[in-house]
């Protein structure tokens, strides 16, 4: 399984992540480190010497999926070394270490050194003779056009439902220079878009005398990255002058601002730091400054003690905001969180019914947003291509406000002549699909 060049051993490494964009960003950092040391990143775990899994524990279901993924990867390649990290591995390190097939557990507090730890454990200590050439992209090895850039880790807040703060620990921010240098390297690799990720993105810089505002301003000034986005940002972290940054068209007009509930009484039980009136004012401010801004959010259904009145308040409030997309979670208790001991848990059948209602509303709001885009000319970053049954080429990508677009190209034009993948080009929106919830356009 391992190969040798000039007596120096190298490893084939497969990387896998569950959960948040932060986990994806960490995979990219590990990928770069392994490749710079001469090791190979493979897309198929069957051919790997080492399989690294970045687990998730944000919900009970996420923990189950983490366990299933570990089992499957071990079955597919029982001869490889299985390395497990991430939130599930951190919270249940002893149990994970005892699982069949697991060779190494690396907790979140040590994951920045994961490639070095793996290399010291399983590979030769000398530098392999074949190493990644400067500028060679590890992103495209994994078939990605968008890069997730980790800017910080940990969170100082303690929302009563959240297990991630326990798994990730205290806030730790990367330096401005470190992040700027990474983004400039991605520019050299012709990456068109980055997403700034972390556990508490809005808290960036709290430990190093910096801020998210300062970071974004520096990235706009000191890099040529065409598109900059954010992962989830807590709404209370954004200063009044923050949205002035969006005057620069390289900052994409979309933010994921987690609300969690539309009832202030529920938000208090969650220990959330934002009330509905403050959230409404923030959205009003965004939309006044940035036209066509897309706001997406999270809602937890069936939080302990959620009354029918509180649920109706949430439904009415969510509809009044008009979100472009919702991540909807049915509450499940997580051992170690304050909410797990709260009284009056909600029955599963009620949670299922409320979740169904909210999914219907979310679809309605998404359709309304898509309908409002008809006739617009927008720049699209093309990411995927396929052929339909008629032999036509279908390209898909995303608008600045993060709406998926498809175009259909007549088969008389070859893919190679188009060269659209990983390019940004203008498209006129002429329709949208009500069932697939995406835009349809014409290439200009």
Q: Which sequence spans correspond to the domains of the chain?
A: 3-122, 145-371, 377-443
The residue with greater pLDDT, 59 or 319, is 319
pLDDT on residue 146: 84
Helices 212-222 and 176-188, axial angle in degrees (round to 10): 40
Query: With bands split at pLDDT 50, 70 and 90, how would you rate the model's confidence at 126?
Result: very low
* Beta sheet of 81-86, edge-to-edge order: 40-41, 12-17, 50-55, 81-86, 102-105
CATH topology classification for 377-443:
OB fold (Dihydrolipoamide Acetyltransferase, E2P) (2.40.50)
pLDDT band at 369 (very low <50, low <70, confident <90, very high): very high
CA distances from 316 to 81, 270, 310, 313, 381 (A): 51, 19, 10, 5, 34
- 150-182 residue pLDDT tens: 999 999 999 999 988 888 888 999 999 999 999
Provide mean pLDDT across the span 93-105. 89
The rounded mean pLDDT for the chain is: 89
Per CATH, which fold does 145-371 belong to?
pyruvate-formate lyase- activating enzyme (3.80.30)
* CATH class of the 3-122 domain in this structure: alpha beta
Domains 145-371 and 377-443 share a fold: no
Average pLDDT of the residues in 62-77: 92
Question: How does strand 254-256 pair with strand 294-301?
Answer: parallel
**According to the model, what pLDDT value does residue 38 have?**
85
Mean pLDDT, residues 281-290 taken together: 94
Q: What's the whole-model pTM score? A: 0.83
What phi, psi does 236 have (nearest 5°)?
-80, -5
Whether the per-residue pLDDT at 2 is higher than 90: the answer is no
Which pLDDT score, from 0 to 100, does residue 391 have? Answer: 79
Assign 401 a pLDDT band (cuts: 50, 70, 90). Answer: very high
Which pLDDT band, with edges at 50, 70 and 90, does 145 fall under? confident
Arithmetic mean of pLDDT, 31-50:
90
Q: What is the mean pLDDT of residues 271-299?
A: 95
Half-sphere exposure of 270 (CA within 13 A, CB side): 23
pLDDT tens per residue, range 249-276: 999 999 999 999 999 999 999 999 999 9
pLDDT band at 306; cut points 50, 70, 90: very high
Q: Nearest CA to 321 among 347, 297, 349? A: 297
Asked whether the predicted pLDDT for residue 140 surpasses 50, the reply is: no
d(CA 137, CA 356): 42
pLDDT at 258: 95
pLDDT value for 198 = 93
Q: Report the DSSP beta bridge partners of residue 55.
A: 86
Q: What is the pLDDT of residue 204?
A: 96
C-alpha Rg value of the chain to the nearest Å: 23
């Amino acid at each position: 399984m391992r190969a040798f060049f000039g007596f120096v051993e190298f490893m084939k490494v497969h990387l896998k992540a569950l959960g948040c964009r932060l986990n994806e960003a960490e995979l990219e950092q590990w990928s770069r480190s392994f490749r710079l040391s001469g090791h190979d990143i493979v897309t198929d775990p069957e051919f790997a010497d080492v399989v690294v899994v970045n687990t998730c524990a944000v919900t009970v279901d996420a923990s189950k999926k983490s366990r299933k993924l570990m089992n499957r990867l071990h079955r597919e390649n029982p001869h490889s070394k299985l390395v497990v990290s991430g939130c599930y591995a951190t919270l249940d390190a002893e149990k994970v270490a005892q699982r069949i097939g697991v060779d190494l557990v690396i907790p979140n507090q040590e994951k920045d050194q994961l490639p070095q730890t793996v290399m010291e454990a399983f590979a030769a200590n000398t530098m392999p003779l074949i190493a990644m050439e400067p500028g060679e992209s590890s992103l495209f090895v994994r078939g990605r056009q968008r890069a997730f850039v980790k800017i910080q880790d940990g969170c100082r807040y303690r929302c009563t439902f959240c297990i991630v703060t326990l798994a990730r620990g205290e806030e730790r921010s990367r330096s401005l220079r470190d992040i700027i240098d990474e983004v400039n390297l991605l520019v050299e690799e012709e990456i068109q878009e980055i997403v700034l990720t972390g556990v508490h993105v809005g808290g960036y810089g709290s430990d190093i005398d910096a801020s998210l505002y300062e970071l974004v301003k520096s990235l706009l000034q000191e890099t040529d990255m065409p598109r900059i986005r954010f992962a989830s940002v807590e709404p209370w972290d954004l200063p009044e002058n923050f949205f002035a940054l969006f005057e620069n068209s390289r900052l994409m007009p979309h933010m994921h601002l987690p609300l969690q509930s539309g009832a202030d009484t529920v938000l208090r039980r969650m220990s959330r730091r934002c009330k509905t009136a403050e959230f409404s004012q923030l959205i009003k401010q965004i939309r006044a400054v940035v036209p066509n801004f897309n706001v997406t959010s999270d809602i937890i259904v069936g939080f302990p003690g959620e009354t029918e009145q509180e649920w109706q308040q949430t439904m009415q409030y969510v509809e009044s905001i008009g979100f472009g997309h919702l991540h909807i979670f049915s509450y499940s208790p997580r051992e170690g969180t304050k909410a797990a001991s709260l009284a009056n848990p909600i029955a599963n059948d009620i949670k299922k019914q409320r979740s169904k209602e909210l999914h219907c509303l979310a679809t309605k709001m998404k359709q309304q947003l898509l309908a409002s885009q008809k006739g617009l000319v927008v720049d699209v970053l093309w990411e995927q291509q396929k052929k339909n049954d008629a032999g036509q080429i279908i390209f898909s990508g995303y608008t600045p406000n993060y709406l998926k677009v498809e175009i259909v190209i007549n088969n008389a034009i070859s893919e190679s002549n188009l060269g659209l993948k990983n390019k940004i080009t203008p498209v006129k929106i002429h329709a949208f699909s009500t069932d697939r919830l995406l835009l349809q356009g014409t290439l200009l």
